[in-house]
Amino acid sequence: MKAKGLLALVCAVALTAACNNNRAANREAETTGTAGAGVSNSDKNFVSDQLADGMAEVELAKVARDHAASADVKQFAQMMIDDHTKAGDQLKQIATSNSIPVDTKIDDKHQNLMDKLSKLNGGDFDKEYMSAMIDDHQDAVSDLRSRVDENRSATDRLTGKNPENPAAVKPEQSDNRVTMSINEWAANTLPTVEQHLDRAKQIKDHVDNATSTRGTTGTSDPTSATTPKGASKY
């Protein structure tokens, strides 16, 4: 009887130890091998959308370098390549470290836009491209603002006016480490994207004015009939 009791006790101790080891192993697997499983869908979707949009801006800018007529448009396109590539690389680092998928592709909207722009050249391209850039960057500003706290007036936020001090834009606070890192990226990126939007509006106005001026060149001038050949009309 004593031998049977001792054997039962040994088996019970061994079974308890095995269960404890299994629970410890499960906890370790949850915290190490499956980091992406703990990331919220909203964080995953935000990262995926931002990477896809940023890649689209870069690809559209490459088209602009070949098809644009305005030097300002070409310079803007290069700024898109430089700034969106940098921001995208930073976000990819956050995604990779948290096992967030980064396999992105251009969406149908931007693919259709790229196909359309690829058929245009010169002034027609400039107008369409800059209009698209305004629309895209208005959307981007709105998306990024959902992740930040801004110490500036509601009017400035609504009009998209850049803060005089970048410190006025802070990441929205979160207890979640992954969410917080994404929010910090958004706060760092927002001022640059707002500057893109401001610049896009300026160039669009300039392009429209240039087109309007060209449209009036060569039209019939009622004073030309009375102006001697070679003489100035002014």
- The pTM score is 0.73
CATH of region 39-213: 1.20.1260.10
Cα–Cα dist 141/82, whole Å = 18
Buried/exposed code over 9-32 (b: 16+ C-beta within 10 A; e: otherwise): eeeeeeeeeeeeeeeeeeeeeeee
Taking the domains of the chain in order of start, what are their residue ranges? Answer: 39-213
Report the pLDDT value the prediction gives residue 168, as an integer from 0 to 100: 77
What digits encode the pLDDT tens for the residues 90-143? 999 999 999 998 878 899 999 999 999 999 999 999 999 999 999 999 999 999
* Tens digit of each residue's pLDDT (9 = 90 or more) over 152-198: 777 776 666 666 666 678 999 999 999 999 999 999 999 999 999 99
Q: Which of 91, 123, 98 is nearest to 210 (CA)?
A: 123
